[in-house]
Chains A and B, each alone.
Chain A
Amino acid sequence: MASRPRRWISTLGAFGAALALVLTGCSNTAAPKPTASNSTAPELKIGLSADVPDLKPSRDQGAAAMMLDTMIHRGLLGYDAKGQVVPALAESFKASADNKSFTFKLRKDLKFSDGSALTSANVKKTLEFLATSSSGAKIGATMSQLASVDTPDEQTAVVNLKNANVAFPSYLADTTAAILPDKSFGAQGTSWEGAGPFKLDKTQKGVSFTFSKNPNFYDASNVNFDKATVTVYADGQARLNALLAGDVHLIDFVPWESFDRVKQDANLTLDPQSGPWMYLHFNVAKGGPLANEKVRQAIALAVNRENVAKAAFSGQASVVAGAPISESSPFYNAQLAQGWKQDVAKAKQLMAEAGYANGFDAVLLTSSQYAFHQDTALSVQPDLAAIGIRTTLDSGDWATRQQKAAEGRYDIAVAGSAGVVNDPSFLVNFVTGPAANNRSYGFDDPKLDDLLNKGLQAATDADRKAVYDQVQERIIQTVPFASLVGRSQAFAYSKKLSGFANIPGFLTFESGYTLVGARLQA
């Protein structure tokens, strides 16, 4: 017995020594640092910002899931690098004169990655699934207008809507409208098989996804990677480190504070676009001061947006002082885009006119889980105090924030979101519908709803422009939300990767579409 502890310690020591030898051996025999620069095989390595335990294209709204959707799936239409709608599984499409019927001609011999045929029957089934209110589809509001899908032959699908929707092709170009194989509907839309450029070979749960080129993809000759590996790096700095160390070629969600670091690296490209936008929304159902549009106007005029950009986004955000319509959009109106330009004196005057010259107390809902949400709240807090609104921060985790916002347990809330499409018709989701965590609680403006509806039905571009000018004017007046900034959303990638592009505006999350045609230099 006397020797037992000694043996125990000796064993530990021996094990430690052996381990040290193994590690030393590994260190000595290690291959050179795995850099992107010495990669000659056409294998693309992507560092992704989040794990994707379940792929449900119809529901996916996060950047990570949408990246995988663009790799595995395809819909009738897609987006090019500039954000223009382009044919995908559909070779061509044609809208009826009244924009209520859309005829899609499928490419010949389309197949899913498992080799099964993709026909108009799959299109019909998918679109009908998306139109079901219980499917939770991201484009459910648009698809709820589906009247029928006719399939005169295997290559033709005619989509009939209850009401005109000139922006309908934009919605079908979103990843959410991927055409799914039949078996996915039995799994509530879960599908790891599709008709996209890659097929999933292997998943290391929570770690990585390994893809190979899908030979059945309609544009397979334009896919320049035999293999693609997507590794999950949830931490922004870890993701950036992986790129800097050459472990991956491309990362999404570059942390704002690291933009300059990437720009300084001669081997890397920083590709930013103004993506999701930050705003304040209000609980107007309580009937107090926030139900008064003059108070909401005062808030929209009081906030210092430059400060928000600096405090929450290291300056990597652009001021949005009106409805969030991109400068590149044909519906952009330079004058209306400045509708809420900061004017504290006018804000104070509006507070007085509304009967709140002495201000009031309010709960400002935000989330501590995302620093930029909390920092946005901290930035606007003194601006609101300057016009007499004394706010108390309610800063829980994201799930708590979402529930409180959906139940109206707040006065003012910080939010960040993106339109489903760049077309201004996306605004409907922020002003009307059942109670939701991303729009003002209890807000209802039938006139605005009516204008947005007219925008979908306008016959010409000029008519649409006129309607959306009225929409922007109405938003500035009734303030269903108070825009703050458009936050920069950046990819960073090795200079050896060409052809990949960050699609502008809210379509940044669809950028995976541009992997088709992208290539790596040896």
Chain B
Amino acid sequence: MTRFVLNRLLLGVVLLWLVVTVVFLALHAVPGDPAAILLGSEGSGAVTPEALARVRSQLGLDKPILVQYSDYLAGLVRMDFGTSFRSADIQVLSYIGDRLPKTLELVLMAALIAVVVGIPTGALAARIGGLADTVISSLTTLGISMPVYVIGTVFVLVFSLQMGWFPAGGYTAIEANPSAHFMRLVLPAIALSFGITSVVARMTRSAVLETVAQDWVRTARSQGLPRSVVFRRHVIRNSLNPVVTTLGLEIGSLLGSTVLIERVFTWPGMGSLLVDSVNSRDYPMVQGIVIVIAALFILINLIVDILYGVLDPRARR
């Protein structure tokens, strides 16, 4: 197992280098001058060539691209991700460190809802069948197909503006006011969880139906084990491998795709930071975020592989 983990980690480092290189080159290849963006918006103020040259020099953009690339890689080795183009006071790594927990909180809360709601619901649909199966399958289809921003907007309309149960958006730090923090977390987390919960429920249902049809289930029943015990102790457990895989992949995807829900609820996570940074051509920030997301994706997949071993000892061999 240790060798397996080390191999995966080494592969992860190589993957990260590839990601860094591709993102670096892609950012420099697309049009859009960070200095021009910094110096002007829609305003009509004069932007002189001297000012542009000065800002480019301050940002290091006047150096040859290979020098910029090697400087950046050297910084990464020292865990120096640089400073944001938008403010010299913003260290990329610490800023991401500030935003990442907010996105992780949202994603993990959505994943938790997916596990707590999705697995029992999927298992229930498979076990009971009939009308319950039809209803649950229809709901999960709806959950998968409905865009998250629609769900979020409807939530705001109903639960904030109409009923007044929750704030319409925004963020309060947990240390400042735990109650206000959770009140602002509930709606975006539930809205974000709709898709992943539906996926988990459908995957659980399929896996359970497949497992139930196995010969060993009939054997267990014929040996006198009650149906509920067989289902709970053996069927569910043996159905979870594909569910865990799916969950891992979905969590990874959510990390990079929370942007819509962050916009709707003004949740200051990493998704919206990534979009803003791309729009303003904040190269160091974009690169930093992509590296962190890639690293997390690799880590989640590693955890999923390890969980295989926990759920199915054969996988450890």
Bound complex: CA of A137 vs CA of B54, how far in Å?
12
A34 at the interface (CB under 8 A from B): yes
B: which residues have CB within 8 A of A? 30-34, 36-55, 58, 84, 86-90, 95, 98-99, 109, 112-113, 115-116, 119, 153, 156, 160-161, 164-165, 167-171, 173, 178-179, 182-183, 186, 233, 236-237, 240, 263-266, 268, 272-273, 276, 278-281, 310-311, 313
Contact with B along A221-248 (1 / 0, CB 8 A): 0000000000111110110011011010
A101 at the interface (CB under 8 A from B): no
Q: Which residue of B is nearest A398, CB measured?
A: B279
Complex interface: stretch among A91-99, A200-208, A291-299, A469-477: A200-208
Q: Give the residues in chain A near B273, CB-CB below 8 Å.
A: 206
Q: Give the residues in chain A near B276, CB-CB below 8 Å.
A: 51, 234
Contact residues, A213-270 vs B (CB, 8 A) = 231-235, 237-238, 241-242, 244-245, 247
Q: List 9 A-B contacts (CB under 8 A).
A: A29-B179, A134-B48, A190-B89, A205-B268, A206-B99, A241-B160, A398-B37, A398-B279, A403-B32
Q: B41, A140: Cβ atoms under 8 Å?
A: no
Q: A400, B44: Cβ atoms under 8 Å?
A: no
16 additional A-B pairs beyond A4-B310, A19-B109, A235-B266, beta carbons within 8 Å, are: A5-B240, A19-B112, A27-B183, A53-B84, A54-B86, A133-B48, A136-B52, A139-B45, A242-B168, A245-B160, A276-B42, A399-B36, A402-B32, A403-B31, A429-B45, A436-B46
A404 at the interface (CB under 8 A from B): yes
Q: Which residue of B is nearest A244, CB measured?
A: B161
Q: Give the residues in chain A near B272, CB-CB below 8 Å.
A: 234
Contact residues, A1-57 vs B (CB, 8 A) = 1, 4-6, 8-9, 12-13, 15-16, 19, 22-23, 26-27, 29-31, 33-34, 51, 53-54
Whether A5 contacts B50 in the complex (CB less than 8 A), given A16-B116, A241-B168, A245-B167, comes out as: no
Query: Most A CB atoms within 10 A — which of B87, B153, B266?
Result: B266
Q: B42, A416: Cβ atoms under 8 Å?
A: yes
Cβ 8 A contact of A241, one of B33, B156, B237: B156
Q: Give the residues in chain B near A420, CB-CB below 8 Å.
A: 43-45
Q: Interface size of A by Cβ–Cβ distance < 8 Å?
A: 79
Q: B182, A397: Cβ atoms under 8 Å?
A: no
A518 at the interface (CB under 8 A from B): no
Contact residues, A395-438 vs B (CB, 8 A) = 396-400, 402-404, 406, 416-420, 426, 429-430, 433-434, 436-438
Q: Which residue of B is nearest A34, CB measured?
A: B167
Q: A241, B161: Cβ atoms under 8 Å?
A: yes
Bound complex: CA of A314 vs CA of B30, how far in Å?
33
Cβ 8 A contact of B46, one of A6, A141, A416: A141
Whether A245 contacts B45 in the complex (CB less than 8 A), given A23-B182, A133-B50, comes out as: no
Q: A242, B169: Cβ atoms under 8 Å?
A: yes
Cβ 8 A contact of A235, one of B54, B113, B263, B311: B263
Whether A399 contacts B183 in the complex (CB less than 8 A), given A33-B164, A136-B54, A232-B266, comes out as: no
Q: B43, A135: Cβ atoms under 8 Å?
A: no
Q: Give the residues in chain A near B52, CB-CB below 8 Å.
A: 136
Q: A140, B51: Cβ atoms under 8 Å?
A: yes
B233 to chain A, nearest CB (A): 8
Q: A5, B116: Cβ atoms under 8 Å?
A: no
